[in-house]
Amino acid sequence: MRFFHPIAAIALLSTAQGHGTGAHYGILKLGGCMKAKHHEDHSLTGTLLNLSDDAVVQVSVSPDSLKDGEEATVEWFYETGYAASTSNWIGYYCSDDLASLEDTNYIDYRYVTSSEVSSSGGSFTTSIKSARSSFCEFRFFSSSYIKIGVSNAVEVTDAKTKVQHLHLALTSNNDEMRVSWTSGSNDAPKVYLSTTEDLKDAGVFEGDCHTYKQSDMCEEPATSEAGFVDPGWLCSAIVKNLEVDTEYFYQATSDGVNFSPPTSFLSAPPTNDPDYSFSFLVYGDMGTWSGDNGEASIATASISTAYVLNDNVRRVDHFGDISYARGISSTWDVWFDLIEPYASKVPYMITIGNHEYDHIEGTDPSGDNFRPSWFNGGTDSEGECSVPMYNRFTMPENDLSNSIYWYGFNYANVATLMLSSEHNMTVGSPQYTFVEETLAAIDRQVTPWVIVEFHRPMYNNEDYASDNEVSENIQLQMEELFVKHDVDLVLAGHYHSYLRSKRIYQDKADEDNGIYHFTIGSAGAALDDAGLVPKDWVETFSLEFGIGKISVANSTHMKWEFIENKENEDMGGVTDETWIVKRQG
Ligand SMILES: [Fe+2]
Ligand SMILES: [Fe+2]
């Protein structure tokens, strides 16, 4: 577990509670050389970061009023005699009440560069994304974390009215699409939809909105985080009666005054063609990071956007550890800003991860909190207990499904079961029964491919004892059922690495009975550094950031590719590929 955090150097952070827990830090691109986000150290005291009596850096930002997403220039000058260093850093803060916003609650930061040290000051230009707050400012810190300068505030004039965080999801009907967005109003949520770009003669689909409060969550720090940002109204509408494989243009509004920019999506393919060909992207563990290995989460978003716009990529599946907000509500806004360019074009389907769900106390929206002795989830959601996820996403409903936690859908010739590794899967449990009945009901002549996705893998050979114990228990509960129903592929994350396996059955490579189990927990969160346990089923293992791409060719062949987040390559680089071919007989 890698920390890259200036404050961490002098403050005691909460220690990691097993693999996949502990502190990770996210990022927004703040111009220049950004490193990591570090606003979750609640153990910092005010004295450490108080503004010194003599501010020695004059910081300003202009213009002082703009719209969300517009650029501003930050400029600073050192007072005579001040010896700047590359350990100085500039934090980016947004709030409706900046005066009461703690220094630890920043959205992003950057270090001062060496050329800015040798000059009388420095400047950079950055896009102001305010996470729905009305004001933003920049605070300048010394190498010993003393605040030595604060800029003027920038007013973000449309912070409360902008329609943003547009994202799509499939429903349980193939001729529908759910359009979701965030805004400051719930007066008249609607989506205008048309097959023509000018939205002439658009159909109007009414939606609804809801929200959540800090008190809806389960534990601290989520229930007490000082910088809680009201999530606004989380709205969605289902557009209906769509023709298959058809481009539809749309705009969303919550009040009839403010609209999302017009964009378009391709409706779902037919579900009666077993040889249909299409592609989709798959990954887990994204967050909002950059960190010292490059701008991994940002690269995941930009590469995904490139594939959606330039390739036959029709949907994105993200299996858990989504934003890593973990109680810091504004991180959800930052993350939705990252995915909007592609999630507004193709369905973005999710499963829940430990960092969204796991909690000890309180009642969460799933109605269940399964905590057997072998489960190591603890308080990994930092009190969120899936409340933000539950309110921000709506997934297809089917027989025996449970909201965002377990559900299934057919897309073209692929049936996908999205499950929760954080919930009970034992024989007879609601989730097990859902899996059993859903798998049994799939007509493999029409829908030949079956993929299961959940956050924690059944098989991974990284040496994390407590996580491996969870995997072994999931094997005990689900493997026979998956094998009986000839599941083709199981996808998971949680381990921050990439693993492509041979077909596995009962912890052995088994071409005749086994299932492929791939781990793609490499979409942005800090990569793992554990030892590896020798297993005969490992085909490829790598510690590189990247995402998976599945291209279904027909009813018997699908291509698998791992796309590394290569710098300066818009569409990344394919570093591993293979064909998944149906077993004969
Ligand atoms: Fe993770
Ligand atoms: Fe995880």
CA of 334 to the centre of ligand 1 (A): 17
Rounded to whole angstroms, the Cα distance separating 585 from 577 reads 25
The secondary structure of residue 532, as a DSSP letter, is: B
Beta-strand relationship, 489-492 and 515-520: parallel
CA of 455 to the centre of ligand 2 (A): 7
Q: Which ligand neighbours the alpha carbon of 353 most closely?
A: 2
CA of 268 to the centre of ligand 2 (A): 30
Residue 340: phi and psi, rounded to 5, are -55, -40
Rounded to whole angstroms, the Cα distance separating 328 from 498 reads 28
The secondary structure of residue 279, as a DSSP letter, is: E
Q: Are the CB atoms for 115 and 109 separated by under 8 Å? A: no
CA of 100 to the centre of ligand 2 (A): 33
Contacting residues for 89 by C-beta, under 8 A, at least 6 apart: 6, 109, 110, 111, 112, 140, 141
Q: Which ligand neighbours the alpha carbon of 496 most closely?
A: 1
Write down the pLDDT at residue 54: 61
**And the tokens for 51?**
């503004």
Alpha helices for 374-520 (secondary structure H): 387-392, 430-441, 465-484
CA of 85 to the centre of ligand 2 (A): 37
CA of 130 to the centre of ligand 2 (A): 27
Q: Which ligand neighbours the alpha carbon of 456 most closely?
A: 2
CA of 361 to the centre of ligand 2 (A): 19
Q: Which ligand neighbours the alpha carbon of 356 most closely?
A: 2
CA of 454 to the centre of ligand 2 (A): 10
The secondary structure of residue 33, as a DSSP letter, is: S
Write down the pLDDT at residue 200: 87
Task: Give the pTM.
Answer: 0.90
**And the tokens for 30?**
């703040």
Write down the pLDDT at residue 497: 97
CA of 192 to the centre of ligand 1 (A): 37
Contacting residues for 547 by C-beta, under 8 A, at least 6 apart: 281, 282, 283, 300, 303, 304, 520, 522, 523, 562, 563, 565, 572
Of 266, 70, 258, nearest to 168 by C-alpha is: 266
Write down the pLDDT at residue 294: 55
Amino acid at 498: Y
Write down the pLDDT at residue 35: 31
Write down the pLDDT at residue 496: 97
Q: Which ligand neighbours the alpha carbon of 523 most closely?
A: 1
CA of 197 to the centre of ligand 1 (A): 39
CA of 429 to the centre of ligand 1 (A): 26
CA of 530 to the centre of ligand 2 (A): 15
Write down the pLDDT at residue 514: 98
Write down the pLDDT at residue 81: 83
CA of 53 to the centre of ligand 1 (A): 42
CA dihedral 31, 33, 38, 44 (to 10 degrees): -100
**And the tokens for 37?**
């986000």
Write down the pLDDT at residue 52: 52
Is residue 144 exposed (0-12), middle (13-18) or buried (19+ Cβ within 10 Å)? exposed
Of 555, 546, 556, nearest to 577 by C-alpha is: 546
Write down the pLDDT at residue 435: 98
Write down the pLDDT at residue 67: 97
Q: Which ligand neighbours the alpha carbon of 358 most closely?
A: 2
Q: Are the CB atoms for 214 and 225 separated by under 8 Å? A: yes
CA of 467 to the centre of ligand 2 (A): 10
Rounded to whole angstroms, the Cα distance separating 439 from 189 reads 36
Q: Are the CB atoms for 418 and 395 separated by under 8 Å? A: yes
Length of the chain: 585
Beta-strand relationship, 407-411 and 89-95: unpaired
E-only strand ranges, 444-572: 449-453, 489-492, 498-501, 503-505, 508-509, 515-520, 538-542, 546-552, 557-564
Write down the pLDDT at residue 219: 96
CA of 304 to the centre of ligand 2 (A): 21
Rounded to whole angstroms, the Cα distance separating 470 from 465 reads 9
Write down the pLDDT at residue 6: 32
Q: Are the CB atoms for 204 and 349 separated by under 8 Å? A: no
Rounded to whole angstroms, the Cα distance separating 72 from 54 reads 26
CA of 149 to the centre of ligand 1 (A): 35
Residue 483: phi and psi, rounded to 5, are -65, -45
CA of 148 to the centre of ligand 1 (A): 35
CA of 351 to the centre of ligand 1 (A): 13
Amino acid at 18: G
CA of 260 to the centre of ligand 1 (A): 31
CA of 415 to the centre of ligand 1 (A): 25
Write down the pLDDT at residue 40: 34
End-to-end CA distance of the chain: 45
CA dihedral 155, 160, 161, 166 (to 10 degrees): 110
Beta-strand relationship, 515-520 and 503-505: antiparallel
Q: Which ligand neighbours the alpha carbon of 351 most closely?
A: 2
Which DSSP string corresponds to 83-145?
---TT-EEEEEEES-GGG--TT--SEEEEPPHHHHHSSEEEEEEE---TT-SEEEEEEE-TTS
CA of 8 to the centre of ligand 1 (A): 20
Write down the pLDDT at residue 104: 82
Per-residue pLDDT of the chain (585 residues; tens, 9 = 90+): 222 233 322 222 222 223 333 222 333 334 333 333 333 332 333 333 445 556 689 999 999 999 999 999 999 999 888 889 999 999 999 999 999 888 888 888 888 999 998 889 999 999 999 988 999 999 999 887 888 999 999 999 999 999 999 999 999 999 999 999 999 999 999 999 999 999 988 999 999 999 999 999 999 999 998 778 889 999 999 999 999 999 999 999 999 999 999 999 999 999 999 999 999 999 999 998 755 445 899 999 999 999 999 998 999 999 999 999 998 888 999 899 999 999 999 999 999 999 999 999 999 999 989 999 999 999 999 999 999 999 999 999 999 999 999 999 999 999 999 999 999 999 999 999 999 999 999 999 999 999 999 999 999 999 999 999 999 999 999 999 999 999 999 999 999 999 999 999 999 999 999 999 999 999 999 999 999 999 999 999 999 999 999 999 999 999 999 999 887 678 889 999 999 999 986
Q: Which ligand neighbours the alpha carbon of 380 most closely?
A: 2
Write down the pLDDT at residue 464: 95
